[in-house]
Amino acid sequence: MMNCKEATQLLSEKLDRPLDTKEKVMLGVHTAMCSSCKQFGRQMEDIRSLAKQYSKGKQTEEKK
């Protein structure tokens, strides 16, 4: 079984590369049982989304 340290590592890597099937299954099982890791994954996705929005806004301002 995957521990929280391994799960958070995969949640971070998931933003940069596709996970293989084994990783997806193990992560899915872990986050189904661990609300802390599930929340961490959501927060990572939110931060990534906000960073992309900020970056797009900065590029638009620089073109003006």
The mean pLDDT of 33-50, rounded to a whole number, is 96
Please tell me the pTM assigned to this model: 0.80
In one-letter notation, the amino acid at residue 36 is S
Helices (H), the chain: 4-13, 21-33, 35-63
Task: Please answer whether residues 25 and 55 qualify as being in contact, where contact means their C-beta atoms are separated by less than 8 angstroms.
Answer: no
Query: Is the pLDDT confidence value at 31 over 80?
Result: yes
Query: Is the pLDDT confidence value at 51 over 60?
Result: yes
Percentage of residues in the chain having pLDDT higher than 70: 89
